[in-house]
Structure 1
């Protein structure tokens, strides 16, 4: 049996703002944007062919408190790349907020950034990819 995590749901305040950030600033691909009726949409973005896709879910009611806090203030998403320098430069130029300068760790080159809601991510080029 083949299994994998296909989608991770990411709470956002607004679909269009989230698409602009993930596609326009992070360079993800918009996979699907389907109107579900009742002001709901099925919005899926992908970091690339080998990554897990994200369902951008507009928060409603009490869910809004969790926007930007899905990792409890910790880095909880890890965006792997085989071109750290290029991605870091492109993302910085696009206005992505990095919380630190790139650093070299035993496991690879890494820098923490925040998404549009404040969730923390690692941009990471694993050592094996260098």
Structure 2
């Protein structure tokens, strides 16, 4: 059998209204790190944030360009949970996020796969904060 190439999902694009407000929200409310902020000219930037200091996946904060993209801000998945923020300590992160006024849409619940609660980002995209069952 042929060797499988080393591949991974490294970056996921999130359509935002404004680079700076999105950077502020993700770094201040969720405690993400600003990884890159590169001026591409013409008002465009390559802005990535990450929840970890390591080599995990990045979130590309992509400013909407035009009416079609602006119409997708906050609803990239038709109202479904879009992204999953995994933690090793649900209570710690849930409390910290509540203290920073992150809007949770439900109370924490225990599922077969772990402890989870849905929250909304600054544009209304839905996320799961999840501590997987070990």
**TM-score, with structure 2 as normaliser:** 0.92
The Cα of 1:76 is off from its aligned counterpart by: 1.7
Deviations 1:6-46 (A, max 9, x none): 10000000001100111110111100001111111110001
2:116 aligns to what? 110
Gap runs ≥5 in structure 2? none
The corresponding residue for 1:16 is 20
CA distance in 2, matches of 1:120, 1:74: 7
Q: How many residues align?
A: 128
- Gapped regions of structure 1 (runs ≥ 5): none
Aligned to 1:64: 70
Aligned counterpart in structure 1 of residue 40 of structure 2, from 36, 39, 43: 36
Q: Which has the higher helix share?
A: 1
Of 88, 99, 110 in structure 2, the residue corresponding to residue 93 of structure 1 is: 99
Shift >4 Å, 4+ stretches: none
Root-mean-square deviation over aligned CA pairs: 0.9
Q: Which of structures 1 and 2 has the bigger CA Rg? A: 2
